[in-house]
Amino acid sequence: MLQLGVNIDHVATVREARYRGRGFGEPDPVEAALACERAGAHGITAHLREDRRHIVDRDVVALKERIRTRLNLEMAVAPEIVAIALRVKPGIVCLVPERRQEVTTEGGLEVSGNLARIREVCQQMAAAGIEVSLFISPDPAQIEAAAQTGASFIELHTGSYADQLLEGHDAAPELERLRTGAVQARQLGLRVNAGHGLTVANLPRLLEVVPHLEELNIGHSLVSRAVFVGLPRAVEEFLAVMRGYRLGPA
């Protein structure tokens, strides 16, 4: 069954808008994570950015202690963050690129140009019993490189697909890139997740076309919807769409 990982970063974004630097404040992303789990989410995702603009260190520690499903820690390969991951030991880390001025994770990881460093981090994580996923664009060269790192998963960046639809363009070419990327990854022995920009509206087309998906990581749209209907219902709405997925790995 296709798994839902809820990214709770933007719960922390709202907290930080009022309580930055104070060590407390509402809404609590950990309580939000627990509410998502109770509603059926299969995992919780949080991005500890180097600039700590939303999730902060204490959130990661508390998430690891309190959630019952799997913690997926999104992170750059920065030494400081790698050290935190090795200490906290999330179930899995998702390595992402990070730029200080970006609004959100803009592109995929440049794996082929950073093979040695990414391999090194994969080895450190493996030694600590932590799985690794690489957040990459559906680009054949990046997928090929990902297969040489020791990571077991890739997360296909669905942001361009989402943007094409939002801007009223033909999303078919992006969908085809995602489909062939998933097939290529699977042939190379990689397991495949996807995420970024996914909504209840754009998911059905993706799920009709892209095979082998094991987990979707969804944040902004789910948290936005929760403002109106609450987290449990927002989680249930996404799960309802995902239940129709028939192309998962056997």
Nearer to ligand PXP, 29 or 195 (CB): 195
> For residue 116, what are its two tokens?
């040695």
Report if residue 220 touches ligand PXP, rule: CB under 6 A: yes
53 and 13 Cβ atoms separated by less than 8 Å: yes
Nearest distance in Å: CB 170, ligand PXP: 21
Stretch near ligand PXP under the rule CB under 6 A, chosen from 20-28, 137-145, 189-197, 242-250: 189-197
Catalytic residue check, 54: no
220 as an active site residue: the answer is no
State the catalytic residue, choosing from 42, 47, 157, 212.
47
Alpha helices by DSSP H, 54-202: 57-66, 79-88, 115-127, 140-146, 159-166, 172-187
CB atoms within 10 A of CB 54: 22
Label residues 173-203 b or e (16+ Cβ within 10 Å = b): ebbebbbebbebbbeeebbbbbbbbbbbebb
- Compare residues 3 and 7 and give the one whose CB is closer to ligand PXP: 7
Among positions 6, 30, 54, 74, the unique one binding ligand PXP when judged by CB under 6 A: 74
Cβ neighbours of 128 (radius 10 Å):
14
Q: Which of 10, 42, 54, 74 is catalytic?
A: 74
Which structure tokens are listed for 228? 């109106």
Decide if residue 186 touches ligand PXP (CB under 6 A). Answer: no
Nearer to ligand PXP, 179 or 225 (CB): 225
Catalytic residue annotation: 47, 74, 196
Residues that bind ligand PXP (CB under 6 A): 7, 9, 47, 74, 94, 96, 104-105, 135, 155, 195-198, 217-221
